[in-house]
Structure 1
């Protein structure tokens, strides 16, 4: 047994690591298969935790830390990995819980209870027939007044069956019925044109966000945010993963308001498949069988300098690598994100530690490599087929997409707009 001047304990040494790097997934209702919220949860799997952290299989984090760094990193430092191993080898001492101990808690992952929770009007029954599904939920709301939003969090009664989610908040005029269209619209086997049933509701979008396994919440630093309208709807589009047994799922969002006035409204742009510049992807987006192929997209940022707050890269099953960067008019390269080993199951919203200034006229490049060979274990077809980018959500098609959250730049944003993750 190792000899320690002071042996590590769960509450003093291990719980803070679990809270930061593991508990966002390993809690009830999340995607992980078991919880790690208590000493008992962790200690009974201690040997396994030691093995998967030493091999760096867990916690999953796909972005290259040598390319760009983020506020919500789950990477473990070598000292933390060794501390876990030392704790396990020293018979997993529990220690004493104190008022200042950082340890996982249940409930919302934001640092306080939500001010408003909006849920779908009905749950959805996911059939256990190993078929992925796409369902849109209409969630109407009517408040006493509009509110300034500091953070938003996707919630679900059963995240194990959810692959990813997109949601949009719309301001709806008084003369339009917020109950237009079905409460839930299953577009799995139908034309996406059915989404037009919600057209009267979709005239004034206030915000667009999303969730993938491993994500916690979307929050905004300083005086940044967006305004929740007094009256409107949230349209939540859920991609349900294929499952082998019948499941039930109820989704929604938590909203956290702030009293302070929002001086700059955060905007979201979707670049690539299904968004800005989709037709400019080169070469033409189709992947022949038994080929590995690279595609790229370049767009020039218009109008004014921007402060970039987060990036969300997206590809499907054939993705191998993803990279995005900007080159300023002065010729400086700004690294945004690099995923050297793409994993469809682990996609992230990468929040910069500090706002990244993107000068007007910068050229943004998005680059993706795809493997449509038999050697790719994630390939959904054997033998491989021709794959297209339809801008759709189907996993067997492909996408090259980068979602970005930004605000107009102001002098000093690099120091003022700082993300401080508070994941319990």
Structure 2
């Protein structure tokens, strides 16, 4: 489960990594002459540094998950051609939404003029220019472990012990249930997730569940404060196919995620999320070993509003628990629907599958007889980047409107990320299984309960 995002990472210090980087630079150099570029005055590093600061340096900094640092001219120069190739192919920065569908306020794409300048700079030999020798990208560094970007939180909830992340291998999702200790409900206006070891944290999802997580057998089974691996899927036989979404968001609600390069979640004025009295926070942690064994002890900071908001923000977890992806199938497609019972405003969409995920499309089917409207298309889904697509403007939804989403998976041998193409794959929480999910973030009047939002 899971606002900008992590790419597949390589062990930071291994000989294999160095060979891969050398080969990548050689390949890029051999193809480089084919790069298109507009006729421009040759830029220097002073022109390039602000582009890197805006779009790259939040992940490419010391101690973060990106494989190299882009903080100074000396650090950027050896990667100039590789950067040009990646941005020209629109592989970086990561953004997978079809540009012909929807408009999103967190669109991470470079402007064509920015791509042209990076390409021309690299083609010209990456000149430094006349700036000072110490010229560097000006970007806020990752805060140290004892500093929060939004100041001192009203409440900090922390893992009770550090989790040992090995140097290599695959680490199953880790879950920990943390009591909030709140004696009364509070409205959350901002949330910040602070990983203890950024270099290995792929993402952290933060969920809130009412005291004891009564409606979820898996989460209720978690002992408060203990680090746990939830079991693989209990589904062993093909379920009856369904097109109606299973919906979480009443006793369990998605709050936010940490993703490399992401920023704290600050809700607009007059908007807040509700944290019930006695609620527990459930952290879902995904680690990617970096070549060095480390320990991670992540934490969450919450800032509370002084009064009830004009609009309550809720994230509903739509899922299709009946999926069954046949072994070897290269394009298995499932359609799922959820119909609104109340008016709401749509703020954001987050498709979610695991490593076999191939594509995602989300549509609005209005209650009136007008044609469906495409809200989001992700033709090349990548599990390594769990992106929330934030609408540029909230979209008014009416009772009776249906959200339809269509997901596809590649369970064939041709999928290099497929852990086992010989296996029929059911729904499950671990990455060896699959999910068919879309997080739908809505704004509603504060008196509306999430359980009342969908039919």
- Equivalent residue for 2:346, pick from 283, 308, 313: 308
Answer 1 or 2: which has greater strand percent. 1
CA deviations on 1:338-375 (whole Å, 9 max, x unpaired) are 11112221220111111112222112111112222222
**Could you tell me how far 1:300 is from its partner in structure 2?**
1.5
**For residues 288 and 160 of structure 1, what CA distance do their matches in structure 2 show?**
34
Aligned residue number for residue 355 of structure 1: 394
Q: How does 1:14-413 map to 2 (within 5 A)?
A: 14-88=48-122, 89=124, 91-93=127-129, 95=131, 103-107=138-142, 112-116=150-154, 117-128=156-167, 130-142=169-181, 148-170=187-209, 181-187=223-229, 208-228=255-275, 233-241=280-288, 246-258=293-305, 261-273=308-320, 278-279=321-322, 285-302=324-341, 304-330=342-368, 331-381=370-420, 384-390=421-427, 392-408=428-444
Q: Sort the Cα spacing of 1:125 and 1:328 in 2 relative to 1 into closer, same or farther, 3 A.
A: same
**Could you tell me how far 1:50 is from its partner in structure 2?**
2.3
Q: Is the CA contact 1:207–1:226 (under 8 Å) kept in the aligned structure 2?
A: no
TM-score (norm 2): 0.71
Q: Secondary structure of the equivalent of 1:133?
A: coil
Q: Is the CA contact 1:154–1:251 (under 8 Å) kept in the aligned structure 2?
A: yes
Q: Is the CA contact 1:307–1:407 (under 8 Å) kept in the aligned structure 2?
A: yes
**For residues 311 and 51 of structure 2, what CA distance do their matches in structure 1 show?**
34
Q: Sort the Cα spacing of 1:231 and 1:361 in 2 relative to 1 into closer, same or farther, 3 A.
A: closer
Q: Is the CA contact 1:130–1:244 (under 8 Å) kept in the aligned structure 2?
A: no
Q: Secondary structure of the equivalent of 1:351?
A: strand
CA deviations on 1:375-397 (whole Å, 9 max, x unpaired) are 2222222xx2233232x222221
Q: Is the CA contact 2:349–2:441 (under 8 Å) kept in the aligned structure 1?
A: yes
Unaligned runs of 5+ in 2: 1-37, 213-221, 235-248, 447-455
**For residues 36 and 16 of structure 1, what CA distance do their matches in structure 2 show?**
12
Q: Secondary structure of the equivalent of 1:19?
A: helix
Q: Sort the Cα spacing of 1:143 and 1:93 in 2 relative to 1 into closer, same or farther, 3 A.
A: farther
Q: Is the CA contact 2:44–2:127 (under 8 Å) kept in the aligned structure 1?
A: no
Question: Number of residue pairs matched?
Answer: 377
Q: Sort the Cα spacing of 1:217 and 1:69 in 2 relative to 1 into closer, same or farther, 3 A.
A: farther
**For residues 336 and 214 of structure 1, what CA distance do their matches in structure 2 show?**
25
Q: Is the CA contact 1:128–1:247 (under 8 Å) kept in the aligned structure 2?
A: yes
